[in-house]
Structure formats: structure tokens, C-alpha cells
Structure 1
Amino acid sequence: MSLDAFAMNLIQRVNVADILRRSARQHRHKPALVSGQESVTYAQLDADVDRVARALQARGVGRGDHVALMFRNSVDFFRVYFANARIGAVSVPLNPSLTLAEYTHILTKTRPRLLLAHGGLAEVAGRITGAHPGLPVVLVPGGGGEDAEALQAESWAGFLDAGAADDGVAGSVDAFVEDRDPVQVIFTSGTTSAAKGAVASHLAAVFAATSVVAHQRLTEHDVCLAIFPNHHVAGLNNSVVPYLMVGATTVLRDGWNAAAVAEAIERHSVTMMISTGPMLLELVDRHGGQFDWSTLRLVILGMASVPADRAAVVRKLCPDVELLLASGQTEFTGYEEAMRREDQATKADSWGNPTLFTDVGIMDDSGRLLPPREVGEIVYRGPQSMNAYLDEPEQTAASFEHGWFHSGDLGYLDEENTVYFVDRKKDMIKTGGENVASVEVAQAILKLDAVAECTVVGLPHERWTEAVTAFVKLREGPTLEEGDVIAHCRSELAPFKVPKRVLFVEEFPRTATHKIRNVELRKAYADLYLAANGQQST
């Protein structure tokens, strides 16, 4: 490679790590990330990233190599993530709560050069290395349990020292990286199927961040609370990366805790955050009025809005807040639809309109784009699309059929190009020859004051093919019987849509971003309608 080609690459390229470098020059002494007692400025973070990048290069890691990251939300995760990006390596963030079989699936697919793990996750890292003894591990201090020697892992200090300059003076790290080179492989949450690795490029990640900046109207004056885990696009590409792009301060929270979040909003004068509807309602129900949340100007709600009466309570506590729904998929790196401010009251049940760089269409099974108000599969185009599913050529081809990315969601557009979600294609229940949208049934049940959360699935049934089955989590205090829910549904829904059974649960199986894993409910209750004598129950 000639020097000229490298020079032109540095001049013209799109690289996620350049986001941080530019912000460090503009906001040197401003806090970039705050995590617990640790606060790091933009200049410090950028210098730390260079140091980690040199250490990775000293280990032989370079362009196209996969590096597994297993961290809780922390500054160290972003030191490593941006260091990988800076040298062209590919980050593979791991969810710390997976099973060994799930880790094996991911590691077999990605074949990482090494694993960097948070010290508090040493036990999990030990289980992984026990099953994959050839995988080198670097243990990063924090959270206790960081006994690198016992784990036969390299210490963080030793890892960094290996990349130190001989004369003690080190400059910025640069490497040849193309725009469409992978920057990350994030495995889908798998609510309906086995997890697949979505390979996102630098270009996709930068376009996604820019789109978020535009929709959220982010500025350097914002203080952003990051709740979602950094191994998910919601906690990485929809949160911290765009915040760093504009020079905002990001407060990292490790896991969901309503009391801690309520206090953090007041203590840090938080201006915006991303949440889910149930998270926001728990925050308000348990801690509303106990803290000053007057600085909060924006809450982005992931995937589902909150009822109008509950939104009114939120606005009373936070007079200037806007509640805007946004929806996205791992395969498209950021979010693809976002609610416009003027639609908060009039289109609260919508997903919003396409984001800055996204085209949205509605397609039938033959590949024909449908006119407004007709239901079909929601499909996308745009530069923030993934490159592919890692080592899944057939799945990739199917997802990109007819020149659009197929989301697996059913919905429709109105005359103003606003997107309305109907159901997941796999969550459409076929019962007695009729199609029932599980979301419609769940929304009817959620009208009951005693219901905190609800999901509806179809379970195998000899007579009905699939039986409409509701799973309900109650609020603290109120009681409700199965018959009460069924009677309510009969007053709200057509007879064939009424659940055959209503099951009450203490908690739902969830993904890392708090979405309910319907696939686990289907597996666990597959035999629900089989009576003790082996006959199908009604």
C-alpha cells in the first residue's frame, strides 16, 4: 500500500473513532463519560483510547480482527470499543447474562483474537475460557473478582505496558480503515429465533449516530443518562456514540434500578434519556415527586409508548419533557422510525416517521410495495444498514430480498408516511382460520388498571391450531382473576380474539433491553393445552 493511499484514507474516510478524536479537540476538558465515582474528560478518553489501541496492536490485533468485549456499562468498555475502531479491529460486545451454549455459538461464529472482560465478570469469563481454552483473556479491573492469575488471564496493567512507547512518548494512533469495514458485530436479541450476528460498518454507525443527533436535537449542553447495556445498539449506537459526537456529557448506569435512576436525574441535572414504557412508568409510580426532574427535556421511548393518562402524569413532574417513541433493529444499527414532536398527542399509537437517512416501505409477500393503509411487512433502505449477518449468506439474502431489508414486522403507512406497527410476522396468531394480532389483544388487556405488563402468544392447540394465550404481570396491590381478564376482553374484542387462557406471572423472561422473550414463553408453555390424560384441553 502506498503512502498516498493511506494519506487519502485519513483525509476522506468515515471512522467511528474519529468522532471521539474531533470532540476531544473541541471539548478537551469537558466531562465525556461519568460512571459511578469515575469521570473522564474528552481529552483523557481520547488519550486512553490511543493507549489501548497501541496495546492491541502490540498483541497483533489489526484490521478485520474480532475482539470480544464483556463489560457492564462502564468507561472501560468505550476505551476498548473506540480503540478497536481506531485500528480497524471489530468489536464483538457480549451480554454478560448469556448461557455457556450461547457464548459458544457467538465465539464459534466470530473467532475472536482475544477477550477483554470486566473484573466483576471474572467468573463468567472463567466459564467461557474453560470451554474455549485457546482464547486469550485480558481482565480489566473493576467490580471485584479480578484475579487474573487465577483465571490464567493477562492483567490490564501488563496488557497496556506491552503497547507503551520505548521512549515514553506516544502520538496518536492511525490505521488504514475503509468506510464499509466492520466496526462491530452485535448479535440480535433473538425474541423469536436464534441470535444472528449483525455486521455493522463504520459508515453505518456514523450515519446512525448523526440521525440520532438530528432527531434528539442533541448539543454539547446536554447531559444524557445511558441506561441500556453497551452490548446492544440501544446503549451504544443510539446513546453514547451520538452523545459523544456533539460533546455532551454521558452518565452511565449499570443496569436498571428505578431508585438510582430517579436520584441520578436530579444529581446530574439530566436533560435526556432513552427508556422503555414500563421503565418510565415504574420510575414515576415509585419515585415521582421525590426528586427534581425539571431539567429533563426529552425521553425517547423504545418500541412502545405509554398510555395518555400516564404520559400526563410524567409531564406534570417534568413540565418541559417531550415523550417521543422510536423504533429500531440491530440490523439497521440505529433506530429507523421516530415520532415527530407535533405528533405526540395525535399519533401516540404510531412508531413515528422515517429517520434522517432511512426509507420505509410496506411490502407484500411477492415484493410489491403497498399503498397507504394496507398492511404488509415493514421494509427499510438506508446507509445505516448492516453489511450482512455474519457467516449466514442465505439468511442475509432472504433479509435483503427485492432490494429492501425485511424487518419481520407487520405494519402500514398513513398518508403522511407515518409508520404504524401491527405485529411481528411470527407473533401473528393463526387460530380457527382467523389471524389475530397479538399486540391488539395485549393492548386491550393493558386497559385494565391492575395490569402492569402483558404479552400474548399463540400456543399449539389441536382444535384451534393456535390458542390465543395471555401472560399478565399485575401492578403492586391490585388483584385480578383470570375470569376478570377474559370478561374484559369479551367486551373489547371479537370472540375469536379473546384469550383461551390468562396466566399471571411474577416476571417475564427478557432480553438485555427489557423486551419480553416470547420465544421462551412459547417453549415453556408449549404443552399448556394438553390435559393430564394426554388429550387437548379447551
Structure 2
Amino acid sequence: MTDVTMLNRVAVGDILRRSASKNPQKTAIIIGEKKISYEQLNEDSNRFANYLIESGLQKGDTVATICGNSWQMIVAIFGIAKAGLVWVPINPGVSFNEKCYILSEVKAKILLCDEVFLQGKKEEYESMCQELLLIGDGVAPAEKFEHTLAHPHANEPEVELHDRDIVQIMFTSGTTGTPKGVVINHQAVFIASLANVIEAGMNKNDVATLMMPVFHCAQHTLVTSFIHLGATIVIIPGFEPEAFMKTVEKEKITWMFGLPLMYRAFLYHPSFHNYNLTSLRYCLYAMAPMDKNTLEKGINELTCDFALGTGQTEMYPATAVFKPEDQLRKSGSYWGTPSLITDTSIMGENGKLLGKMEVGEIVHRGPNVMVGYLNNDEETERMREYGWHHTGDLGYFDEEGMLVFVDRKKDMIKTGGENVSSIHVEQALVSHPKVLNAVVIGLPHERWIEAVTAFVLLKPGESATKEEIIAHCKENLGSFQVPKEVLIVSELPTTTTGKIQKHILRKNYQGLYSNQQV
């Protein structure tokens, strides 16, 4: 009987091989002045895969990375997949103890780390794995990641792979406790990234940014999507508005992904009109809603499409897209329409699926659902109660069947007998012309139970009083939604992907109202 393993497999490493076979000399990666062709990227990934196998690693073993965005990181991601191993990206920004916890939890065989992230812990990291490979200028040749690319075999290793084999384990931020390892198979990454090509209007001629951290699911899935197509990816190691605009002009970037805060930073930059940004045709944003003023300015002055993508590590993105044609037609926290590979419903109590305009938990089904949480069967089962994946997000479908996000279940503020969506208040705040970013939480209050509290970051060079901000909110919100207090701050606690860490604000300001009645 014919072995169909190679005939009908779905495997992440195959994505790069196929694009390299069709576009060998096309530029795959640009970083600074360095350019890497698809042929070279594929061969380097094969060499790393063969190195890993010859190092004694077996199918299913784990290779962890503590890295920023780099060409080496892309080579490693695909090399790990080609070898039938499991990639474990670790956020460089988490504590050393959390890094140690993750390395121990996954029993990492090899660790790839940027030298800058060692922070004097080299010996500790070496003790936790079979081999430590480093990226950086001050690294001895024998320890350098690049020495693995001198492996004599550039052909792809013959590894039996199946679509349900594990390809990566990504850990959640752990903001409410111990971080959870999200186990993801080849099928989820392959199909979700392929669906993005259609949903986000990508094409083979695109020149796309890699600006958000590739260790995060959102940027990783987009990189994979563009490699499906054989497009060109420009790695931008850190965001600075003017440097970013120079890169767009130089490389003629057509497709970008960034946070709303990033769009505001360059669209309102004093040098905005000094650069030719006409190559941009598609601008994706995520993690937070875009205020109407910035959205209109971006669409009108860049004359390109804007879209919002949503998803989560447990439900490989994108799960929904708020598309260009709806951006200015609909106002509010719209997530748009579910991805073509995703079933989305709204669930109420006891598993009941709700109708249009009824608020409940957003739940999904599809091939991009995680395998489960690593070593946590109880939590895995809780997340798939009633046969749906539970997101922890509240939302509803409007009259047209478009998905609207209300809030995270844990972020809904209960104040004076009313439920207030923190997202709704944040949207009102960022619509103020002087506000760069804002976050809203509920804090304990003797009278209100939870008091709506706003933390506001002003645009550079701007000044405003809390009374001015509150007056603006009174014009745009219901009386029970207006913040009881506005704190103007110089910075907001964020993750490396730009998400506001509301739990830190709750902890730091827990006693704000303990001696006052507002």
C-alpha cells in the first residue's frame, strides 16, 4: 500500500520550500542593507534542520528561542518545523524566573538566544538545555547560531510529518497567574496563515513589514502568510516614526501591520509630509481600536485600505477581520466578519447560542483551534465547554451580522448598578485631539463598587487638564460611563506587543479611592 505521508501532508516547513522552488532568486527578507533570497532562506533553514537532527534531537523535541526580530529568527523557525521539532518562542521581556519556568515546562533541548538577552545568566541557561546558541556580534564562533548554517547538507531532511503534529508551543502572558503553554499543530498555522492571504488582500508583489514581535502569534501568522505567496518581508527591529517612514519610502513598502499607537505616531509626526509613502496600499492594525480621527486621516492622506484583524494564541489568527469597506461605514468596537475558516457564535448561560443584538461570550470553532494547554487538561476542557472554544471576550452580532466586541469579561466595569465597557470609554478618550492613548479600568469604591478610572497619555508637546478630558467625555458618553477620575501619565504599562497591562494599573492604584468619595 502506498505511503501517503508525503503525498497529502500539511506541514509548515513545506510553505517555504514551495515558495523557494517557484521564486528562488526573489528577495524574501530585507533587514538594513542585507537581502536574503528565497533560495538562500530555504537552504539555511534546511541546514539548521539537519544540524538539529544530527545533534540527536528526535521528532517532538522542543527548541526554544529568546530573540527579537532578525533574519536568523526566521531561519530558525522554519528549520525547527522542517526537522519535525517544536518551536517554543519566549518573550524576551518576561522575568528570568518566568523564562526558567517555560524552559523547564517544555524540557527544551536547545535554546537560541540573542546575546543581549542573556543579562549575565549564560551559565544558568546552559544548565537548562542541551545546547545554547547565540545571536550577536560578541559571540564566540563555536557558540554562534550562524555556525549551524555551515552544515554540509542543504537538502530538506526527510521527516514524517502529519497535520496534527505539534509545531509550536506559545505561552500566554500569565497576567492572571502562571503562564499557560498553548499547544498548536501544523494544521492550525498552515490553514490560518493561508486564509489570511485571502482575508487581508495580500499578493505576491507585496513588500510587507515585520515590525511587531515575531514571537507573538499575530506577527508570526502574517510572516507565514507572506512566505506562502513568495512576497518580500522587511524586518524593522524597532519602531521609531521617522525611521519607519524612511524605510517605507526606501523599500517601497506596500503592506504594513502595526498598533493604532504606531499609526498615530507617524501620521501626526511633524515630518509626515516630508516622505513619499504612496507605496502603502494596505494597513492592518490590531490589539486596540483605532480612533476615528486617526483612521480618517490615514485613509485620506495615505489613500490606502485600513483593516482590523483579531484573534488569539489559542485560536490562531486571524479569526475575524473588520474590512476596509466597513471601516468608516460602521462606528464602534467592530471586529467585522469571521474568517472564512472560522465558525463564530455568541454564547449565553448554559451553552445557549444567542441571536443578533444579544451580548454574550464570543466562541469559535475551526481548524485553527489550539490542541490544548500544555500539561493542563482541566483548563483545556474548560475552554472548550459545550463544544466551542471560549475566548473570554464579550460581544454580539449586529443587525447585519457583523461582530462587535464589547469587552473582556474580566474588564467589564460594574459601577453603581450599571455595566460599563472599558473599550467604549477608551474610544471616547482617544477621540480627544490631544490624547495619544488611554486605558480605563474599574477600581474599588465604597459608593460605586467600581469607579470608572481613566489613565491618559497625551500626544508629544500637548498639555491638558483632567477637567478638560472629563468635559470631553461628558459630551460623548452617558453620565454613568464618564470617568470618576482621570490621571494624566507619562507612560502606560504595556507588553512587548503593545497590549496595555491593566492588571498592573489595578494593583498599583487599588487604593486610589480609599480616602475619598467621588
Fold conserved between structures, TM > 0.5: yes
Is the counterpart of residue 249 in structure 1 residue 232 in structure 2?
yes
Q: Deviation digits for residues 485-514 of structure 1, max 9, x if unmatched?
A: 233333433333222221111111111211
How big is the shift at 1:29? Answer: 0.3
Q: Distance in 2 between matches of 1:218 and 1:494?
A: 40
Q: Deviation digits for residues 28-72 of structure 1, max 9, x if unmatched?
A: 000011112221101111111110011101111121111101221
How big is the shift at 1:77? Answer: 0.7
Is the counterpart of residue 135 in structure 1 residue 118 in structure 2?
no
How big is the shift at 1:259? Answer: 1.7
Corresponding residue number in structure 2 for 1:380: 364
Q: Deviation digits for residues 340-385 of structure 1, max 9, x if unmatched?
A: 3321221243111011101110111321111001111111111011
1:101 corresponds to which of 83, 97, 100: 97
C-alpha contact 2:434 2:458 (8 A) present in aligned 1: yes
C-alpha contact 1:199 1:390 (8 A) present in aligned 2: yes
Q: Deviation digits for residues 295-334 of structure 1, max 9, x if unmatched?
A: 1110011144433333332234322x10111111111121
Corresponding residue number in structure 2 for 1:285: 268
Is the counterpart of residue 300 in structure 1 residue 280 in structure 2?
no
Q: Distance in 1 between matches of 2:447 and 2:122?
A: 45
Secondary structure of the equivalent of 1:361?
strand
Corresponding residue number in structure 1 for 2:138: 145
1:365 corresponds to which of 345, 349, 371: 349
Is the counterpart of residue 478 in structure 1 residue 472 in structure 2?
no
Corresponding residue number in structure 2 for 1:329: 312
For normalisation by structure 2, the TM-score amounts to 0.95
How big is the shift at 1:173? Answer: 1.1
Is the counterpart of residue 354 in structure 1 residue 332 in structure 2?
no
In the TM superposition, what are the counterparts of 1:107-506 in structure 2 within 5 Å?
A: 107-121=103-117, 123-124=118-119, 126-127=120-121, 129-130=123-124, 133-142=127-136, 144-147=137-140, 154-156=143-145, 159-160=148-149, 164-165=151-152, 171-190=155-174, 194-237=178-221, 239-286=222-269, 287-319=271-303, 321-349=304-332, 350-506=334-490
Secondary structure of the equivalent of 2:5?
helix
Q: Distance in 2 between matches of 1:16 and 1:127?
A: 32
Secondary structure of the equivalent of 2:273?
coil
Q: Deviation digits for residues 397-444 of structure 1, max 9, x if unmatched?
A: 111111111111111012332110111100001223322111122222
Aligned residues: 516
Closer/same/farther in 2, CA of residues 141 and 497 from structure 1, 3 Å limit: closer
Secondary structure of the equivalent of 2:503?
helix
C-alpha contact 2:44 2:154 (8 A) present in aligned 1: no
Of stretches 438-447 and 43-52 in structure 1, the one that deviates more from structure 2 is: 438-447
Q: Which amino acid aligns with 1:288?
A: F
Q: Distance in 2 between matches of 1:382 and 1:98?
A: 31
Q: Distance in 2 between matches of 1:68 and 1:104?
A: 11
C-alpha contact 2:452 2:482 (8 A) present in aligned 1: yes
Q: Distance in 2 between matches of 1:280 and 1:89?
A: 37
How big is the shift at 1:459? Answer: 1.4
Closer/same/farther in 2, CA of residues 59 and 308 from structure 1, 3 Å limit: same
Of stretches 328-337 and 439-448 in structure 1, the one that deviates more from structure 2 is: 439-448
Q: Distance in 1 between matches of 2:162 and 2:28?
A: 27
Q: Which amino acid aligns with 1:156?
A: F
Q: Which amino acid aligns with 1:66?
A: T
1:13 corresponds to which of 1, 9, 14: 9
Q: Which amino acid aligns with 2:484?
A: K
Q: Distance in 2 between matches of 1:132 and 1:402?
A: 44
Closer/same/farther in 2, CA of residues 134 and 318 from structure 1, 3 Å limit: closer
C-alpha contact 1:215 1:355 (8 A) present in aligned 2: yes
C-alpha contact 1:333 1:384 (8 A) present in aligned 2: yes
Q: Which amino acid aligns with 2:225?
A: P
Corresponding residue number in structure 1 for 2:31: 35
Q: Which amino acid aligns with 2:261?
A: P
Closer/same/farther in 2, CA of residues 374 and 129 from structure 1, 3 Å limit: farther
Q: Distance in 2 between matches of 1:410 and 1:148?
A: 52
C-alpha contact 2:30 2:36 (8 A) present in aligned 1: yes
Q: Distance in 2 between matches of 1:413 and 1:204?
A: 25
Q: Which amino acid aligns with 1:134?
A: M
How big is the shift at 1:157? Answer: 5.3
Of stretches 522-531 and 493-502 in structure 1, the one that deviates more from structure 2 is: 493-502
Closer/same/farther in 2, CA of residues 304 and 134 from structure 1, 3 Å limit: closer
Q: Distance in 1 between matches of 2:335 and 2:189?
A: 22
Secondary structure of the equivalent of 2:237?
coil
How big is the shift at 1:212? Answer: 0.7
Q: Distance in 2 between matches of 1:285 and 1:179?
A: 45
Secondary structure of the equivalent of 2:314?
helix
C-alpha contact 1:327 1:337 (8 A) present in aligned 2: yes
Q: Distance in 2 between matches of 1:297 and 1:502?
A: 37
1:47 corresponds to which of 43, 50, 61: 43
Secondary structure of the equivalent of 2:128?
coil
Secondary structure of the equivalent of 2:63?
strand
For normalisation by structure 1, the TM-score amounts to 0.91
How big is the shift at 1:210? Answer: 0.8
1:86 corresponds to which of 82, 86, 104: 82
Secondary structure of the equivalent of 1:472?
strand
Closer/same/farther in 2, CA of residues 119 and 148 from structure 1, 3 Å limit: farther
Q: Distance in 1 between matches of 2:122 and 2:405?
A: 39
Closer/same/farther in 2, CA of residues 346 and 170 from structure 1, 3 Å limit: closer
How big is the shift at 1:529? Answer: 2.0
Q: Distance in 1 between matches of 2:320 and 2:340?
A: 9
Q: What 5-or-longer segments of structure 2 have no aligned partner?
A: none
C-alpha contact 2:12 2:190 (8 A) present in aligned 1: yes
